[in-house]
Amino acid sequence: MSGKLCQVSFRDVNGIEHAASVTAESFYEAAVLGLRALKRSDWIEVIGPGTRITVRVHEPPVEHFLMFAQLTRWLEAGGKTPAEVLKRKKLKELLTG
């Protein structure tokens, strides 16, 4: 499966929108990779459970939303296959590491 170019963004507590472009194979992977890129910035203060994350896929153009708490619950949930369990574990390590 090839990845899709996505823009991942959120608004901070001051109403400032932060965004990063990533290539990902899934919605959740895009969210994790985008937040990881944004967390590297000294300009990002807090990404908490109530943070609303937007994932915009460039082609085909589509937009998805989730809350940070939903993302962390998905990462904590067990996968249905060994490959899915491994994928979630890797993404969790990327987000927290």
Residue of 59, 58, 60, 64 lying closest to 27 (CA atoms): 64
CA distance 63 to 52: 13
pTM for the whole structure: 0.89
Question: For residue 72, what are the contacts with CB-CB under 8 A and spacing of at least 6?
Answer: 49
CA distance 97 to 91: 10
Domain chopping of the chain, boundaries = 4-96
pLDDT in tens, 7-53: 999 998 888 899 999 999 999 999 999 999 998 887 787 788 899 99
CA distance 89 to 44: 24
pLDDT in tens, 3-12: 999 999 999 8
CA distance 6 to 21: 6
